Amino acid sequence: MKKTIIASLVGGIIIFFWQFLSNAALDLHRPAQQYTAKQDSILNYLSTQLTEGKYFLPTVPAGASADEIQKSMDRSMGKPWAIIDYKSSMSTNMGMNMARGLIIDIIIVWLLISLVNRSKTRTFGSIFYLSLIIGILSFLSFPYTNFIWYESPGIYIELLDAVASWGLCGLWLGYYLKEKAN
């Protein structure tokens, strides 16, 4: 149990550290957070038009018929569109958000270790491979499927994040959790 706890803590810290590098120190996610000099006027206008929520423009009201949806899609083809995630007040608690992120990273690594511990073969390579598979699955399950529909910027950085963070974690876990040869 002690080995699982240590492996989870170190693995979670490795993933957390990669997330810090990617998002803050290296600023790799800039394409998904672009600046506009018009941000103040845009936010002022949005505050008069929207309540908190996520908006896809253009779309139809809830309950629209299939015919109305199709007509709206036809009218929208080739025209601008946007996704707006509007919040009426910025309130970030950096310390709490970082703590929650680290705790989630540790839990995810602990879940991976629970899979490793059920494996018949616990070699460095098999543990590293399983960790990479988890990273690729996590990339494909949300960032990539979201990209397919909404063309979200920064998709290659999301892939890099998944492979790098889980690859580094897999190197650690493969070294620390491998079974010794008889």
At residue 121, the pLDDT reads 86
- Furthest-apart CA pair in the chain: how many Å? 71
pLDDT band for 90, please (50, 70, 90 cuts).
Answer: confident
101-147: pLDDT as tens digits: 999 999 999 999 999 999 888 999 999 999 999 999 999 999 999 89
Tokens of 109: 């690594």
Residue 182 pLDDT > 60? no
Measured distance CA(147)–CA(125) in Å, rounded = 31
Query: In the chain, how many H helices and how many E strands?
Result: 7, 2
Delimit the domains of the chain by residue range: 2-35+92-177
Question: Which residues are registered as beta bridge partners of 82?
Answer: 57
At residue 181, the pLDDT reads 58
Classify residue 139 by burial, with Cβ atoms within 10 Å: 0-12, 13-18, 19+: buried
- Alpha helices (H) along 50-154: 66-76, 94-118, 124-139, 145-150
User: Does residue 177 contact residue 113 with C-beta atoms inside 8 Å?
Assistant: yes
Average predicted confidence (pLDDT) for the chain: 92
16-57: pLDDT as tens digits: 999 999 989 998 988 888 899 999 999 999 999 999 999 999
pLDDT band for 179, please (50, 70, 90 cuts).
Answer: confident
Mean pLDDT over residues 165-179, rounded?
95
Exposure string (b/e) for 105-128, b if CB count within 10 Å is 16 or more? bbebbbebbeebeeeeebebebbb
User: Does residue 10 contact residue 170 with C-beta atoms inside 8 Å?
Assistant: no
At residue 170, the pLDDT reads 97
Instruction: Kindly report the backbone phi and psi dihedral angles of residue 130, in degrees, each rounded to the nearest multiple of 5, phi listed first.
Output: -60, -40
Measured distance CA(150)–CA(170) in Å, rounded = 31
Nearest to 163 by CA among 10, 28, 9, 33: 28
Mean pLDDT over residues 138-167, rounded?
92
Say which DSSP state 143 is in: I
